[in-house]
Amino acid sequence: MEFRQGTGLPASELTQLDEGLPSVQPGSNKLPARAALFGRQHACFALLLLVGAAVRVIVMLGYPGPLLYPDSGPYVSVAVHLLPDQLNPSGYPMMLWLLARLQDLTHVNSITTAVVVQHAMGLCVGLLGYALLRRKGLPGWGATLAMVPVLLSAYTIQIEHFLLSDTLFGFLVMVALVVLTWWPEPPFWACAVAGVLVSFASVVRAQGIAVLIAFAVYLLIRFTRWRTLASLAVFFVAFALPTAEYAAWFDTWHGTYAITTSDGDFLYAEVTTFANCAIIRPPADERKMCLNVPVRDRNEYAAYYLWVWKANPLDRLRGGNFGNAANSAGLEFGLRAIGAQPLAYLKAVGMNFGESFMLHSGNPRMYSVTWAGSSSELDYMFPARAPIWALKYKFVYFDQYDGSPPNEAIVHPYSGWIQTYQRYIVVSGPLLGVIALIGLGGLILSWRRRGGDGLLPWIVGMGLLLAPATILFDVRFVVCAIPPLCVAAGIGAQQIAARAGSFRARRREAA
């Protein structure tokens, strides 16, 4: 059976699909006719995009200012002083800094502009996913259905409304993914553009390294002979140049050539939940890192040992938490604990990874294990009133940023509509699991074509779920994985439908 390149569908079936589409007759090839044809072909998605935009407008009416999280203040502080931060990469504050420069032109509060830009990015991610799926041969209704979780999930819209780096990171990853997979064999310039975009994503959020690995694996699997090495070389050079510039900037301020100095703190908090020094047997100078609490009595939520635990030995090192000394000590002890207790570490990673697919309710007592991370989902919901900690927030950096504190108003009835919306229109953990399995099914059916078109979006999505699970899980990190996994699921559903159609055709022929 003949398959049309880049679609995975039999040529005969695609011919039938093409025949069902309206065409522009000779002599009618004018702009109005083309616009009408374009509108008919994409009307279904246009309606979805309009609904997604309308929900975001209601959010802006109900919550005119951004939602704040403990990371929001440091991001604004870095945007004011434009220095590399040791805890988080400073790519997102750079965007805030640029928006502040535009304030005189737009006469709009820069913080409000940032939220509007992030909502626009969310819509663009859905548009990019739809365009890619149509490019790969999906019908309009199929590509539209695949983007419903991306454009309408309240979890995504919530994160877009926060002063957090996640939306910018997810947007950069999605653009890079589309650029590299638009062609069956991407030109070298596309590899270069993808490398630069992944580099930018890496200085927005540290999980960009997982995206780098996923792209490298894709290039190795999909291409052969000299082209593989050439594509990899172009991609890595394009990635390395901006990343090296950022690391050099970081070195001038913090004395180490890196993106952040927080990995050691995160890894130490993760292993603290299970590290048994009787098994690890660390050298004498590392014994101060051991807990005197039996493993069975420790808090199962690793973030407790990073943000709450008062006896954290890394705090007492020179430079404190996230300093160079703490980063080195945390990495060394963490790697030693993993080497001595690999199964315990794999169990911790598995529990974190499994949370991505849990039905979060904010009530960890529902589970035999205390899924404390599930309750953190409540931190990102649109509130009925300003959280107590937000009321006490220090707005000094916001005043320095654009001369005014963020708007904390909650406007009725729009806020009430959104609070009701977020109870029901979400991509729950089990639904995300189904989406991931559909994408995996497509990869299995396309094994002769080395995973087909769904390979890169699937491994990128899974990498974005796995990367935070290896160090420190937060439920908000799941949101960035939804768009690539939905693209992979759309392509996977296409492959499954094509295989089912071929099977039915063979049975009819045999009968």
| DSSP structure class, residue 317 | S
For the chain, how far is it from start to end, CA to CA, in angstroms?
A: 19
Q: How far apart are CA 463 and CA 479, in angstroms?
A: 13
- Please say whether the beta carbons of 262 and 88 come within 8 A: yes
Give residue 394's pLDDT. 54
Contact residues for 13 (Cβ-Cβ < 8 A; gap 6+): 498, 501
Who contacts 388 (Cβ-Cβ below 8 Å, separation ≥6)? Answer: none
Cα 362 from chain centroid (whole Å): 22
Query: E strand or H helix at 223, and its extent?
Result: none
Closest CA to 440 of 423, 422, 421, 455: 455
How many CB atoms sit inside 10 A of residue 353's CB?
16
Q: Answer whether 99's CB lies under 8 Å from 113's CB.
A: yes
- Contact yes or no for 418/400 (Cβ under 8 A): no
Instruction: Please tell me the distance from the alpha carbon of residue 83 to that of residue 266, in angstroms, as a whole number.
Output: 22
Give pLDDT tens digits along the chain (511 positions).
444 444 444 544 444 444 444 444 544 457 777 777 777 788 899 999 999 999 999 999 999 988 888 888 889 889 888 889 999 999 999 999 988 887 766 666 678 889 999 999 999 999 999 999 999 999 999 999 999 999 999 999 999 999 999 999 999 999 999 999 999 888 999 999 999 999 999 999 988 889 999 999 998 887 777 778 888 899 999 999 999 999 999 999 988 999 999 999 999 999 999 999 999 999 988 888 888 888 888 887 788 888 888 888 888 888 888 889 999 999 999 999 999 999 999 999 998 898 888 876 543 333 333 344 444 566 788 888 766 555 455 566 777 777 776 777 889 899 999 999 998 899 988 999 999 999 999 999 888 887 888 899 999 999 999 998 888 788 888 999 999 999 999 999 998 888 877 777 777 777 6
pLDDT at 366: 33
Instruction: In whole angstroms, give the CA distance from residue 484 to residue 139.
Output: 18
Question: What integer pLDDT is reported at residue 492 of this predicted model?
Answer: 92
Amino acid letter for position 224: T
Whole-number Å distance between alpha carbons of 481 and 79: 26
DSSP string, 233-294: HHHHHHHHHHHHHHHHHHHHHHSSSSS-S-HHHHHHHHHHTT--HHHH---GGGGGGS-SS-
Query: Which pTM does this prediction carry?
Result: 0.88
